[in-house]
Structure 1
Amino acid sequence: MEAPIHTLSSLFEQLGLEGSQFAIDGFIHRNSPIPQNVELAKAKCWNQSQANMLNEMISSDADWEPIVEQLSVLMHK
């Protein structure tokens, strides 16, 4: 069985946010750059539930890790 391929759109939807490219671009524009010394999940733009979900995706769910890392790179620019 192949591992699922997640997208930024599906990540945003999992976080309870709109997953359109327009909405994602707007969110990144409004909430970045995150300082380099701040982990993605600790950024002020997330509520507690979203931060917990991001931490869980990074620490225990290998399927989500690459796309969360991609978002981290985009948000730290």
Structure 2
Amino acid sequence: MELHQHNMADLFNQLGLGSSSQEIKQFVNSHRQQHSSEPLHHASFWNPSQAAFLKQAIEEDADWAELVDQLNIMLRD
């Protein structure tokens, strides 16, 4: 099985969000949840399809899983 090399901009595009470095930084800064222990896909700022994608990426250990983990860390630092 060939794994695709995605980057954070690709993940933001997949989620239908702005994907420039400035847009990613702005998203992270405005949605940071330092003290939340809920799974990333439960955050209130995702729409249902975004939440489902994030949950599925982790559950299936998909190509996107590493980036979803990185996004999770970025939103909690």
State the TM-score, normalizing by the size of structure 2. Answer: 0.90
Does residue 26 of structure 1 match 2:26? yes
Deviation, 1:34, is 4.6
Aligned-residue RMSD, C-alpha: 1.4
User: Helix, strand or coil: the match of 1:73?
Assistant: helix
Gaps of 5+ in 1: none
Q: Distance in 2 between matches of 1:58 and 1:40?
A: 10
- Give the total of aligned pairs: 77
Partner amino acid, structure 2, of 1:45 = F
Gaps of 5+ in 2: none
Moved over 3 A (4+): none
CA contact (8 A) 1:33 1:76 kept: yes
Does residue 60 of structure 1 match 2:60? yes
